[in-house]
Structure 1
Amino acid sequence: MNNDHPSVCLGRRAFLKHGTLVLTTASLRPQLLIADEKAPPLRVGLITDLHYADKAPAGTRHYRETLPKLEEAGQKFTQNQPSFLVELGDLIDAADSVAVEQNYLKTINRKFSAISKDRHYVLGNHCVDTLKKEEFLAGVEQEKSYYSFERGGVHFVLLDSCFRSDGEPYGRKNFQWTDANIPAAELELLESDLKATDRPVVVFAHQRLDVNNNHGVKNNAEVRQVLAGSGNVLAVFQGHSHKNDLKEIDGIHYCTLVAMVEGEGIENNGYSLLDIEPNGTIRLTGFRKQKSYEWDHQG
């Protein structure tokens, strides 16, 4: 992962605007704003929890229907031209063999990769249920499972919580999905990375960093302490629990996105476009089942 400065307190107040929840930032350090306020917003396409598999539905999960749902999302992304795409984990569902799971991955990633050359994959627990991490990463042509990068004056961080409490990485059905952790080495790298940037930061994760239930990262309090301590993290976007949710903790918005796999029919799709304005405003435009949010900077 990629000048130290003191933490900044971000005050919030919420109200409804045209049916959309708006949270306003009372103050934000000028250093955390994108330098060119006349620049267009940086746009990112977001999807999560596709759980693609060539198998019959199970409960509310309609695995095969991910393909037409992704096609609809791809059309919307093509029309709106995001700078890059992020898939927030569980791109595929579990399979009983490596060969079958690799076929799931090949099928869905052929569709996803056709949408944009610039794309990023967060590891979800189902991504490495049967596959090893290196096998999944090779299948999507991504070198690492956690790293940072910059686009348009914003610093982005991808996290990997697919580690057991003893530090062993998930793979080959060697884990319980409730035992998700950010290991010490990754946490140290995250802290160093955040100290090294004075740009506004957006974090992408799969397992949730804002809850202490089965969907939460076990050491989420430690991770949040690092994020809040940096003073420059604006928001965390995450998946895993399949439902819309939003929490504000220590001045950081933790936004959980709806799963694409849930529900029968295209009307139960869910995906979003994230716009980051030069003045610090963050706008999430949700489609179908995904809610929309806006975090508006007020100087």
Structure 2
Amino acid sequence: MKLVTKLTPTLLNQAWVFVVLLISPSFAQANNMSTDHSFTLGIIADCQYANQPDKGQRLYTSCPKKLEQAVTDLNKHPLKSVIHLGDFIDQDFKSFDTLLNITQHLKAPFYHVLGNHEFSIADEYKNNVTSTLNMPARYYSFTLGDWQFIALDGNDVSTYGWPKNTEKHKHNLALYQTKYKGHENWNGAIGDEQLKWLKQQLSSAKNNNKHVVLLSHFPIFPENPHNLWNAEEVLDVISQYKNVKAWFNGHNHDGNYAIKNGIHFVTFKAMLDTPENAYSTVEFSDKQIKINGVGRQQDMVLLLNLNSD
């Protein structure tokens, strides 16, 4: 049998058809080479477990069971990560062990944001919180595909977030008396050093064509008693970057939502004070962020304009 050693016109046309098919989106999708940038996260806010009897709306005794239900359900989804938006525990450092024994069964990476109740513990344990929660630092960032997630520490400047014998605590008390006096002392602020770091993160994300979601325990918009002390300052900073698309937070257990300067501000409802449950899966795509709420957390669709970055 004689082998064909050069392409005839017919074979040449067939070769070009194959190349076109190979690089076309439909062919790529059919061969599991999708260019789709979508992914899904799990979001939980304010589990806030304490080993004590229920108190009013604070259903402490139900927290471990609800968290266990959430972990079981979230493991059924192909998640890139699960994020807890602060107030994982309340009052007792040992409560971390109870909850971490449950969340260790999560299949997806688990990220934490620091809440005020993380520090409603004895002073001797306050410097151990980040290592206990396997956090790289009190504020940090991570990347998923075309998105950068920036986790902030709203307890940075606060009356409770640092051991009382530290210079940081003394400096914060002075700031509270001179700059933030009259604000609720269960809120806090983002300090100058962290703000400088935040600007660097936002500029880097912009230069690398990354869309941004900011993660915080505390809200900054709309106006609310739970907002950061320097909410307006932080809002002014992030509004200068068109690649910032959303701010996710907890703290206000009733939840909230607003949009300003093209940024979606979502306050997720607390897992603590509901007899059913409250958590979400959050789907990211090129056109929207879709929040699929469970229990008390409602569904939401946040439309995106990624071309405006």
Alpha-carbon deviation of 1:76? Answer: 1.5
Residues 1:253 and 2:246 are matched in the alignment? no
Out of 203-212 and 193-202, give the one that drifted further. Answer: 203-212
Going from structure 1 to structure 2, the CA distance change for 1:117 and 1:110 (only over 3 Å counts) comes to farther
Q: Distance between the aligned counterparts of 1:37 and 1:127, measured in 2?
A: 41
For the residues of structure 2 that align with 1:43 and 1:143, how far apart are their CA atoms? 23
Stretch moving more, 129-138 or 191-200: 129-138
Give the AA of the match of 1:282.
Answer: I
2:178 aligns with none
Whether the aligned pair in 2 keeps the contact of 1:46 and 1:271 (CA below 8 Å) is: yes
Deviation at 1:62, TM superposition (A): 0.8
Deviation at 1:116, TM superposition (A): 3.4
Q: Relative to structure 2, which stretch is displaced further, 216-225 or 137-146?
A: 137-146
User: 2 CA distance for matches of 1:39 and 1:134?
Assistant: 41
Q: Secondary structure at the match of 1:230?
A: coil
The residue matched to 2:303 in structure 1 has which SS? strand
Output aligned runs, 1:111-260, within 5 Å: 111-116=102-107, 118-131=109-122, 132-164=125-157, 170-172=161-163, 177-197=185-205, 198-260=209-271
Instruction: Note the 1:267-278 alignment, pairs <5 A.
Output: 267=276, 269-277=277-285
Alpha carbons 1:244, 1:291 under 8 Å: kept: no
TM-fit CA distance, 1:133: 4.3
* Deviation of the 1:41 alpha carbon: 1.7
Greater percentage in strand: 1
Say if 1:76 and 1:179 are closer, same or farther in 2 by CA, change over 3 A.
Answer: closer
Say which SS state the counterpart of residue 49 (structure 2) adopts. coil
Secondary structure class of the residue paired with 2:61? coil
Q: Which runs of 5+ in 1 are unaligned?
A: 1-35, 95-100
Distance change >3 Å, CA 229–CA 169, structure 1 → 2: farther
| Aligned equivalents of 1:80, 1:209: Cα separation in 2 | 30
Letter in 1 for 2:83: V
**Once the two structures are aligned, what percentage of the paired residues are identical?**
27
The TM-score normalised by the length of structure 1 is 0.79
User: Secondary structure, in 3 states, of the residue corresponding to 1:282?
Assistant: strand
AA of the residue aligned to 2:112: Y
Paired letter, 2:119: V
Runs of 5+ consecutive residues of structure 2 not aligned to the other structure: 1-32, 174-183
Matched, 1:85 2:92: no
Higher RCO (CA < 8 A, seq sep 6+): 1
Q: Is contact 2:93-2:121 (8 Å) kept?
A: no
Contact 2:126 2:163 in 1 (8 A): no
- What is the CA-CA distance between 1:221 and the residue it aligns to? 0.9
Match of 1:17 in 2: none
State the secondary structure of the residue aligned to 2:221: coil
Conserved in 2, the CA contact under 8 Å of 1:206 and 1:238?
yes
**Structure with greater helix share of residues:** 2
Is the partner of 1:273 in helix, strand or coil? strand
RMSD: 2.1
